[in-house]
Structure 1
Amino acid sequence: MKKGNSLLEVDEVKITIIMDNTIDAFLTGSEIVHRFNMSKGPLIADDGFSTLLGEHGFSAMIQVKCGKKQATVLLDTGMSPNGILHNAATMEINLNVIQAIILSHGHVDHTMGLPNLLDKLDSPQIPLICHPDALLDRKLIMPSGYEVNVSAPKLTTSQQMKIAMVNKTAPTLLVDNMVLVSGEITRTTDFETGFPIHYTKRGERWENDPLVRDDQCVIVNVRGKGLVIITGCCHAGLINTINYAQALTNCQQIYAVLGGFHLTGGIFEKIIPKTIDELQKILPTYLMPGHCTGASAINQIAHAMPKAFIPNNVGTTLVFQAEN
């Protein structure tokens, strides 16, 4: 875990939600929460869709500054082949500025936009950071026996030539040590036990894989404020993820946690109270649950920690700055 000790403290991090489940054109912002101004253009884009699209997927652009250093990375690529391209164009985001692509894990709702994104990028050999399990075939087997394919898409030869694969379980420091990818997260809590209906294909054999070991998060340390943790689905468990980030960086102060917390559905709603109990001990300054967190968990988090809670929305940019 000492590998994360060289994570730099940054002067600023901006996180822009390019894709998530929810859109509310009338959400208000604040000094740190900037909402996309829907009045900048027509409500219907040239392709016939809404100006911004939401879907059961996640993608976030992370921009960091430290002195004269600046860098941009992308976490996840959404559920649909073109969703993040559509939203990035609407928000006038130039995806060619990204210096690395990070996959939080290998499920379809975080990876399906990758092939078309690679086709659009000008830069060759962009680093793709993922766990060795992330690109294996995956499925869910429902209690009824119905099977749902949740595998990442297969890349063509030309798309594979566009990436420099960083495929490992250990943490990865990126962009001059300003961004840390956690790698495989250690499981320490007794209530975050995984996704029992999840399966991974290894070789020719399907194996029950409730822990979804490829789950990882992105960590940024804002000088004087603490850690900002961005999660994809948090299959490792929200509290496990926070605990691991603290251990990895030797920093206990949590400034913000955002992304999918995977607390929806009958399997996970029973651990919402315990998760909130632990969050109240950790006391993040800000919480912005999205994607797979679920309505019940979001409402309970908002009620239990109203000062920390930020409503999630596609097109939101959070701006976290260091102490002067």
Structure 2
Amino acid sequence: MSTSSLVDLDSLEATILIDNDLDPMSPVPADTVEVTGLMRTLATSSPHDIHDRGDAHKELQMEDICCAAHGLSILVTATKDNKQHTILFDAGPEGDAWERNVKRLRPDLAAVEVVQLSHWHRDHSGGLQRAIEMITAAKKEANGTSSAPATIIDLHPDRPDYRGMAIGHNIISLQADPTFEELEAAGGVVQKHADAHTILDDFFFISGEIPRRTAYEHGLKGGMRFDAEEKDWFSDEGIADERFLMCRLKDKGIVMFTACSHAGVVNCAQHAVDSLDGEVPLHAIVGGFHLATSEASQMESTVRDLKRLDPAVILPGHCSGWRAKFAIERQMPGAMVPCSVGMRIKF
């Protein structure tokens, strides 16, 4: 699908609602992104006023700091002229974690128009029902009515009965992802898309299946899926339903959000560039690179080819792992920004 209709955005902001990592203290490199939500911002913007401690007028409470969880959820807001659109990219592993961090970050949930699930894995889908319920409640409160504008849930139609992993001779099942019916019961309007498409006035592009081109990105080793009709498990290392989210930012280029990069982060990034015919530079890659358990040779090849793609900013999070972050920083000094839960990022 051509993405020629994808508009040049005036501004783009992302809030990391769920991620494996928490680091509210480290500054980001200069000339990368603008970040709020770090400790200094939390302290100066604290809602807790005090009047009995001399010159201190604010109290920083530990309950205001987000908590890490194994998964990913990013709230993305894009602006063009006087129009703004907001999408939720994944919802983390479970509802309690999502609700806890949202209550601490206090984003405008009523602004969320679409929720995109990147792929059917519980660490990305587990919080969907709670997220939809809270978004719907926020819209009702904002409208002052008992009804709310629809929240579209953009899903790949191929939902496995269960996913799991082979560890040695054992198969370990993950929890089931929410069903289409459960998501509609939570208040969402399910739309199923296997193919690439743009949404929200062409502000956002959601990929279809990501082409596998590199020789070293092999999918999820040991990935399995259970077929309830066959009553058996089958190899599912490709995770073919994974889809990335991307935008085009004026004067900067492509900003791509990738959840786990089971297709390979280089394959994802190259496909994003190719989707715009190679005419728009790659500005930023955000999300999970799934390199935490990779062999050293794959990591070296990945970082080499990321460097060739020359993004201005790389924000590895979730399943990327500390070794990948170290390798990126070593090979591309000044471009790596840790993707920490609680960060509000302006590109």
Task: Tell whether the structures are fold-level matches, with TM greater than 0.5.
Answer: yes
**Which of the residues 236, 244, 255 maps onto 2:271?**
244
Identity level (%): 25
Q: Give the C-alpha shift of residue 43 in structure 1.
A: 3.2
Structure 2 counterpart of 1:25:
24
1:77 matched to 2:91? The reply is: yes
Structure 1 counterpart of 2:284:
256
1:142-157 matched pairs, under 5 angstroms: 142-154=167-179, 157=182
Contact 1:106 1:151 in 2 (8 A): no
Aligned-residue Cα RMSD (Å) equals 2.0
Q: 1:283 to 1:112 in 2, by over 3 A?
A: same
Contact 2:9 2:80 in 1 (8 A): yes
1:136 and 1:173 map into 2 onto residues whose CA distance is 28
Letter paired with 2:263 = A
Structure 2 counterpart of 1:162:
187
Q: Kindly tell me the number of residue pairs found equivalent between the two proteins.
A: 314
Structure 1 counterpart of 2:209:
184
1:223 and 1:158 map into 2 onto residues whose CA distance is 35
Q: Which has the larger radius of gyration?
A: 2
Secondary structure in 2 matching 1:100: strand
Moved more, 209-218 or 269-278: 269-278
Letter paired with 1:87 = N
Spell out, residue by residue over 1:176-228, the C-alpha distance to the aligned partner (whole angstroms, 9 max, x if none).
Answer: 00111112111111111111311123452332111000111111001121100
**Which of the residues 61, 76, 83 maps onto 1:62?**
76
1:213 and 1:158 map into 2 onto residues whose CA distance is 22
Moved more, 233-242 or 250-259: 250-259
Contact 2:23 2:340 in 1 (8 A): yes
Q: 1:157 to 1:151 in 2, by over 3 A?
A: closer
Moved more, 133-142 or 185-194: 133-142
**Which of the residues 280, 297, 303 maps onto 2:324?**
297
Structure 1 counterpart of 2:262:
235
Secondary structure in 2 matching 1:118: helix
Q: Give the C-alpha shift of residue 125 in structure 1.
A: 3.4
Q: 1:157 to 1:271 in 2, by over 3 A?
A: closer
**Which of the residues 272, 276, 280 maps onto 2:303?**
276
Q: 1:310 to 1:148 in 2, by over 3 A?
A: same
Unaligned runs of 5+ in 1: none
Q: 1:133 to 1:71 in 2, by over 3 A?
A: same
Q: Give the C-alpha shift of residue 229 in structure 1.
A: 0.4
Structure 1 counterpart of 2:13:
14
Letter paired with 1:72 = T
1:96 and 1:269 map into 2 onto residues whose CA distance is 44
Contact 1:28 1:35 in 2 (8 A): no
Spell out, residue by residue over 1:52-71, the C-alpha distance to the aligned partner (whole angstroms, 9 max, x if none).
Answer: 11011100011001112111
**Which of the residues 81, 93, 97 maps onto 2:111?**
97
Spell out, residue by residue over 1:277-316, the C-alpha distance to the aligned partner (whole angstroms, 9 max, x if none).
Answer: 1011111000010100011111111111112111221111
Letter paired with 1:224 = D
Contact 1:101 1:127 in 2 (8 A): yes
Q: 1:242 to 1:62 in 2, by over 3 A?
A: same
Spell out, residue by residue over 1:79-132, the C-alpha distance to the aligned partner (whole angstroms, 9 max, x if none).
Answer: 122212211111121222101000111111111111112222323531111212
TM-score by length of 1: 0.90
Contact 1:99 1:127 in 2 (8 A): yes
Q: Give the C-alpha shift of residue 268 in structure 1.
A: 4.8
